[in-house]
Amino acid sequence: MFEKLQRLGKAFMIPIAVLPIAGIMLGVGAAFTNPLMVETYGLTKILGQGTFLYYVLTVMSNLGSAVFNNLPLIFAVGIAGGLALQEKGAAALSAAISFIVMHTVISVILGFQGYTPETTSVDYFMSQGLSALEATKQSNVFGYELGIFTVKIGVLGGIIVGVIVSILTNRYYDKKLPDSLSFFSGVRFVPIISVLTVALVGAIIPFIWPTVHLGISTFSEFFGRTGGIGMFFYGSLMRLLNIFGLHHAIYPLFWYTPLGGELEVAGKLIQGGQNIFFAQLADPNTVRFSAEATKYFTGGFLPMMFGLPAAALAMYRVADDKNKKAVGSLLFSAALTSFLTGITEPIEFTFLFVAPVLYGIHAVLEGLSYAILYVLDVAVGVTFSRGIIDFTLFGLLQGNAKTNYIWILILGIPTALIYYYVFKILIVKLDLKTPGRGDSEEVKLYTRKDTLLKEVDVSKVIEALGGKENLEEVDACITRLRVTVSDVSKVADSDVWTKELKAKGVFKKGNGVQIVYGALAEILKNEINKQL
């Protein structure tokens, strides 16, 4: 299972590569085109509608949104291609088609059940006698994916599709059909079996997911009633649900409905934590922002601005020396995205599946951050997420008297130190394969394919492995060629590998063989699979 999680972590790195720049564009663009922010700071002439910067920032925001709004599809394609051992292109295409088919099937069945965009709106549910909160909970189950009306299953849907398609690709990429259907044999069979299988999954989801989604929403209601303890569980659960994008089942209820509190501002009754904050921001008579309203998002500033960047530094410091240059650029961009915009997916997915224990600790630390900042009466608002941009706009520039932001700065360094040393110690003690360590597969360090292949004769490598007929599966990580053979006794001895085939070492266990080739491992894998 751990091996499979590591492979899944490697597959996640493919789509993750595009997230840092998309996150920065989205965070910067969204923050500086927010109408209330522009009006509050008197920047209408510079950033208001119709200005050159407004157009530029709007384009940036939309480009970033295009990536994050389609993360489920991106992960479906990336995971399928990443986990497929053969015919990766066919797997990726099959995943894209299957993802669309799954949500189309869900949409059709929702229609059979009487659910349409009109009958799932908040106004419709309220017209049926539900309260504003209950109507929002019901409506929040449904949404759109690629323009298709469906249920909000989020990234989890993409992961499900990606994993299913990769399994089917590995099993059926060489499937032989009867002569009358021979055209559909082999790789052409992959999209067929994928679509049929995922369509069946799509037919089941509408009967299960609404109950799961509503269960999560209902369970979350106790958070606001239990003070600091509730905030701890809120912060931790939000971080755990964020893995699959399921945090969307919770936070809107606190940001935009009476569940997040009610407060009279400038003579109007405002409901929802973020709504209250922005109403107070617009009210010149506001002396202090309500910490009761902001408690559902302020807690994220410590881990996003200080904790995760420190964790990235820890992962860089424990990476193998030969890999640090390559892994440094990945971790730096992910850390910068978290610090600048508060978008954490790029850095979290670098260790989520290769070292899930670290993610669990991260969730606990985030829960503590929510609890502590709530107890200390900190009230810093957010537009999109909790990076330095929002902290500056809605903390620093508002003044400590209004926000009590000073505690975020005071606790920032201790938070960074805790993340740094906890991550560093656990990675070393547990030998966790974070980027750049040992067999970690997340960072590719080579570019000179032709030059490297001159060092080793691929045909001789196959011969040393017992010949083509002895090979069952050929894979590789960043340093090792990983092969499953039918008969391990046919594999050449260590001397052949180290003296004749220029390997650094060879390890055998059961029917598994690992040959250490450094940067050449991945290239050898591809060349061997071509010959097979």
Residues taking part in catalysis: 477
β partners of residue 271: 262
Q: In terms of DSSP H, where are the helices of 220-289?
A: 227-241, 251-256, 273-282
Whether 135 and 253 have beta carbons less than 8 Å apart is answered as no
Alpha-carbon gap, residue 288 to 296, rounded angstroms: 17
Taking the CB of residue 248, how many other CB atoms lie within 10 A of it?
A: 16
d(CA 172, CA 170): 6
User: How many other CB atoms are found less than 10 A from the CB of residue 459?
Assistant: 12
Spatial contact of 361 and 426, defined as CB atoms under 8 Å apart: yes
179 CB burial (10 A radius; 0-12, 13-18, 19+)? exposed
- For the CA atoms of 169, 175, 180, 184, the dihedral, rounded to the nearest 10 degrees, stands at 20
Strands (E), 318-447: none
Residue 291 to residue 288: CA distance in whole angstroms:
9
Answer positive or negative: Cα dihedral of 147, 149, 155, 157. Answer: negative
* Cα(420)–Cα(160) distance, integer angstroms: 33
Q: 477-514: b or e for each residue (b if 16 or more CB lie within 10 Å)?
A: bbbbbbbebeebeebbeeeebeeebebeebebeeeebb
Q: What six digits make up the tokens of 200?
A: 């069946």
